[in-house]
Homo-oligomer: A and B are copies of this chain.
């Protein structure tokens, strides 16, 4: 899309090194469901969803095919080209200038460095707190070693990573106790967990997860929090970002940016939090590819309350390199469509629309994560005016 400002994908994951195995492997990468019935009923395959339709629309041309070609044709062409070539084409076609990669997911995935090299772009790491703690637990001899290990790993991450990520939504729900747990309680729970766990076990102890959250908040680096829909391991009604309200209040004085990810279908509530708490930002990553043709409609809902500089683009791409293309194209189409309609009927001015587009696409993320080396990523002053476009960064 010519003239669209640079994209910073502020939340994504790695790409499968060897590609998915067969049609069913590919389909598994297109859904949040755990189990797919084989054979699926007509219309119940992941290809028969908004994501499936969007993938055929936007990715087929990248492989030299017609938009909306049948899945079989798409998969055949994909196999012909091979995983490396498909990955290279998709990452380059995505138009993304910088990737912030949550490295805490399992699988044989490309590293941030490999993504950067393949894409010809920048890539940075986001450290997943729960994975950091699980790694520390896998090697710790005792509670002291575990807690020191966590502390050291967090400290090390502040030098190499651009932010933290938590999946407390999956592990405990967002209605967790908001206050930081005291040291002796943390020790007791660490003892209990280390004693009972087998290597590789997930961290679900709410006291330890809270300890991680508060440790991350104290570093000042942006903290991304999964909210809203995801795979069936979570209970969606316990992932409403409004359940975080007391945690948001408790952390406000620290100034550490909280970035609420995905948010759907509770994105209006997330917009409210961003409107009334200075340190809250909102992303709608996973939502864009999954709602496909409806991305503009959902974006418009988000743009009701959220201050425009607090909304951040991401793809949440994981596994398939196609998801970067789908996320980027749908996002551009959504922003252009929504703001274009407002300009057409005089509700917004054209320069405002352009400025806001730049902020959402990447300008705000570049500021938030300190991606100083990127060209053209700062939003111009505009109506925000001279008293806000300079001065110290208060948030990081």
Interface residue ranges, A against B (CB under 8 Å): 23, 31-37, 39-50, 52-54, 56-57, 67-68, 70-72, 229, 231-232, 235-237, 240, 242-243, 245-246, 249, 252, 264-265, 268-269, 272, 275-278, 290-294, 297-298, 300-301, 303-310, 342, 346-349, 352, 355-356, 359, 363-364, 367, 378-379, 381-385, 387-391, 393-395
Contact = CB atoms under 8 A, between A and B. Distances in A.
B229 A235 contact: no
A53 B268 contact: no
B265 A307 contact: no
A356 B43 contact: yes
A267 to B, nearest CB: 9
B68 A349 contact: yes
Nearest to A350: B68
Nearest to A342: B293
Contact of A352 (B33, B53, B252, B308): B53
Contacts of A290: 275, 304-305
A72 B363 CA distance: 23
A236 B269 contact: yes
Given A68-B348, A71-B383, 10 more contacts: A41-B395, A42-B309, A43-B355, A43-B363, A43-B379, A70-B385, A235-B245, A264-B268, A290-B304, A292-B347
B276 A231 contact: yes
A39 B394 CA distance: 8
A37 B308 contact: no
21 contacts: A23-B387, A32-B275, A34-B276, A35-B252, A39-B387, A40-B388, A43-B308, A43-B359, A44-B388, A48-B307, A49-B306, A50-B304, A53-B349, A67-B349, A68-B352, A229-B305, A236-B272, A265-B272, A290-B305, A293-B342, A293-B347
B310 A347 contact: no
A339 to B, nearest CB: 9
Contacts of A301: 294, 297
Contacts of A307: 43-46, 48-49
A325 B14 CA distance: 50
A44 B269 CA distance: 17
